[in-house]
Amino acid sequence: MTARTKTAQLTTTEAAVLGLLSQGPRSGYDLKKAVELSVGYFWGPAKSQIYAVLPRLVEGGLASAKKVAQDQRPDKSVYRLTRAGRAALKTWIEETPAPPDPDRNPLLLKVFFGDVASPEILAGHIRERRLEAEELRSYLEELEADPARDDLYEALTRRWGLEYAAAVIRWAKRAERELARRSLS
């Protein structure tokens, strides 16, 4: 009675890996790269976890592994999505409830208790967050210009990123201004 992995639902990272495998077979190493280039800004697991997840998927029949010998490169294992894997991904997308958002936001916690600290330093943290958002924005705008990427679902995620970045930037600018005023008085 080795029933177990059967209906056990996926972790988010497992789902992310299945999702990436749905775009084609990849090794753990490839997956790590693929994460950085696509879902990285809203889902970025450590590489050790990718390697931990893969055998679990194989065990559950959601992916298959094939050892590929290479010369002048270390051997690698290439993983491929199975039909069961695709079905599991579909179920995860459709049925697993996504936790409500906004979730945990440590920066906001700093702001909320900001009167305990120096307004200048706090403004510095906010400024850094704004710079990050500005970088994200230009990265996403570059992607947007690329005509190879006009898939609806990619566009939707990208536009969330842009919407989010715009919100951060607008908020941060105002907050920086007001904290600067507070510093003076």
Partner DNA sequence: TGAATCATGTAAACAGTTACATGATTGG
Partner DNA sequence: CCAATCATGTAACTGTTTACATGATTCA
Which of its own copies, DNA, none sits in contact with 77, Cβ below 5 to 8 A by type? DNA
Distance CA(35)–CA(37), nearest Å, equals 5
Q: Distances from the Cα of 84 to the Cαs of 19, 143, 167, 169, 171, in angstroms?
A: 13, 32, 40, 43, 44
Contact range with its own copies by CB under 8 A, out of 58-66, 72-80, 107-115, 142-150? 107-115
* Per CB under 8 A, 83 contacts its own copies: no
Question: What's the rounded Cα separation, in Å, for the pair 141 and 163?
Answer: 11
Place of tokens 């201004």: 177
Q: Is 48 an interacting residue with respect to its own copies (CB under 8 A)?
A: no
**32 vs 49: CA distance, rounded Å:** 10
Query: Among 18, 20, 21, 27, which residue interacts with DNA (rule: CB under 7 A)?
Result: 27
Q: Applying CB under 8 A, which of residues 5, 113, 141, 183 lies at the interface with its own copies? A: 113
Give residues with Cβ within 8 angstroms of 129, minimum separation 6.
Answer: 107, 168, 172
Q: Which of 71-79, 110-118, 128-136, 143-151 is the region at the interface with DNA (rule: CB under 7 A)?
A: 71-79
Query: Is the alpha carbon torsion for 79, 16, 60, 52 positive or negative?
Result: positive
- Would you say 51 or 164 has its CB closer to its own copies? 164
Residues near its own copies (CB under 8 A), total: 65
> Which chain residues interact with DNA by CB under 7 A?
11-14, 27-30, 33, 44-49, 51-52, 54, 70, 72-77, 104
